Amino acid sequence: MDDEVGLIMANLGMANGAVFQLVPQRFAKDIGIMTGLVGCADGLGGTALIKTLGWSKGAFDGYAVGFLIFAGVVVIALIGLSMVKTRWRTTWGAQAGGMI
């Protein structure tokens, strides 16, 4: 079980790095504001992850329920991204001044 947790945490870290790499490309003019918002969401998400996994371990003697809750959050995020991806793809190059 510890190997799976380590793998999941490594994936979360890579996703965090990807977000901070893409934010300046998408929001070049508002980079300060967006970096602050992403940092705030990252801090809240990190705290929520720790609390949820702790609650799951205490209530169910395992982390599965906590990871399922976060899997649901990921599905909701993917649905939200799929709703805006076409608009973002058509306006991204124009805002960045080049091809991305």
> Do 51 and 43 meet the contact criterion of CB atoms below 8 Å apart?
no
Mean pLDDT computed over 58-62: 93
C-alpha span between 8 and 2 (Å, rounded): 10
Neighbours of 22 (CB within 10 A): 13
Among 99, 93, 81, 96, smallest CA distance to 29 is for: 96
pTM: 0.60
Answer whether residue 51 shows pLDDT above 80.
yes
Residue 100: per-residue pLDDT: 47
